[in-house]
Structures are given as structure tokens and as C-alpha cells.
Amino acid sequence: MEANASVDMFSKVLENQLLQTTKLVEEHLDSEIQKLDQMDEDELERLKEKRLEALRKSQQQKQEWLSKGHGEYREIPSERDFFQEVKESKKVVCHFYRDSTFRCKILDRHLVILSKKHLETKFLKLNVEKAPFLCERLRIKVIPTLALVKDGKTQDYVVGFTDLGNTDDFTTETLEWRLGCSDILSYSGNLMEPPFQSQKKFGTNFTKLEKKTIRGKKYDSDSDDD
């Protein structure tokens, strides 16, 4: 009986919240309709032109991003290419990976999706074995690492899966949220509430870091599959 009462109470609270939200939306729509009704033809024409201009600028910006390699998740062949790529774009995510690290492949799947969704950001990947100088300069010590570059400067890093709920099964939205926290892409959700907080279990697949060596350089691998 207590369980049923709790369910009924929750249902009523949810119903009230939905009604309040619906009421606010209706009031906003009524306000916008009223504004349109009060406009004369010249004002409506100016509003139309303003919106068309905004649409044109948005389309131009999209084409510019696409011409610079946005909209896809690409591998760059060398560290020299890295410097050229980050000069061209305001926001860049670069995945420093290694073929033998299985968690890099997990990141790949999510980055492919995000690259198509967020045209405002360039998504790249670079093999650490081909970039010893850059890895040392950026202090890349754990594989995988995402370097978040804004205006040509590295602003932040996503190191391993620690910020993603300490699990291999994190969602694409969780990675999107983490990148949004660094303002490297436009995240539409609530930055104050990580998506993985709603999951019942996380962190069960997290393993201890192991020392790895690449061309004489020691790296920590956030993986137990090497």
C-alpha cells in the first residue's frame, strides 16, 4: 500500500510539473503571436530579411567549417600536420591514440558520431608513435588522451576514462558533456549534471594504469588489453 501511495504521489507531482511547463510554453507562444499581430508590413519584412541574413551566415559558416575538414573524424599523418590543423580552426579535439590500446577504439566510435553532430569543432586523431616531440611537448603520458585545443592553444585534456564515469560503457552524450564542460563544443544539456550520474553502475571496468614504452618514452596506458 505504501509503495502504491508513493507511486501515486510521484505521478501527481510529475503531472503538475508537465502542466506548468505546458502553461509556460503556451504563454510564450501567445506572446510571440501577439507581437507578430502588432507588426506592420515593413516590420515583418525587416524581420524576414533579418532571419534570412542569419540563415545565410549560418550556411556560409557551415561551408567554411566543411572546407577546413570539420564534419568528419580524420587521422593526420604527422605532428607537423597537427600544428597546421589547429591554426585553421578555432576549436579542435585531437585523440592521441595507439593501435594496440583497445580503449582508443572505444573513443573512436564516439568521436565519429560527435564529429558529424558538431560541425563547429574539428575532430582529429594522431598516432603517438608518429608524434614523439608533440607528446613530450603536450605532456601526453596516458593513452588514450584527448587534447582540447582552442584558438591554437591546448586548453584542457581528457585523460583516459576517469572523467567519463570510469567505465568502458560510457555513452556518447557523456563524452559530449565532458567536451562541453571545456567549451570545445556546444553542449545543449545541463553541464552541472553529468549524464553518468543517472547510471546505476559505473567504474566496474576501470583498471589500474600500466607502464608502457614508445620509442624510449614511457606512457601510461589506460587499458589492460595491450
Mean pLDDT of 18-34: 76
* Closest of 161, 100, 88, 168 to residue 124, by C-alpha: 88
Mean pLDDT of 4-8: 59
CA distance 54 to 43: 17
Are 109 and 168 spatial neighbours (Cβ–Cβ below 8 Å)? no
Return the minimum-mean-pLDDT range out of 23-37, 103-117, 172-186: 23-37
Mean pLDDT of 1-12: 60
The number of helices, as runs of H, and strands, as runs of E, in the chain is 6, 8
Q: Give 146 or 195, the one with higher predicted confidence.
A: 146
Coil, strand or helix at 45: helix
Is the pLDDT score of 21 beyond 60? yes
Are 174 and 164 spatial neighbours (Cβ–Cβ below 8 Å)? yes
CA distance 124 to 10: 46
- At 140, give phi and psi (nearest 5°): -80, 115
- All residues at 6 or more sequence positions from 101 whose CB lies less than 8 Å from its CB, including other chains: 143, 144, 221, 222, 223, 225, 226
pLDDT of residue 64: 92
pTM (2 d.p.): 0.68
Report H helices in the chain.
2-38, 41-67, 79-88, 102-117, 132-137, 172-181
pLDDT-derived band at 216 (thresholds 50, 70, 90) equals very low
> CA angle at residue 14 from 13 to 15, to 5 degrees?
90
| Domains present along the chain, CATH in parentheses | 66-181 (3.40.30.10)
pLDDT of residue 20: 77
pLDDT of residue 9: 65
Mean pLDDT of 117-124: 97
Helix, strand, coil percent content, the chain, rounded in steps of 5: 50, 20, 30
pLDDT of residue 202: 42
Tens-place pLDDT, residues 28-86:
777 777 676 667 777 777 877 888 887 888 889 899 999 999 999 999 999 999 999 99
CA distance 157 to 147: 5
pLDDT-derived band at 125 (thresholds 50, 70, 90) equals very high
pLDDT-derived band at 1 (thresholds 50, 70, 90) equals low
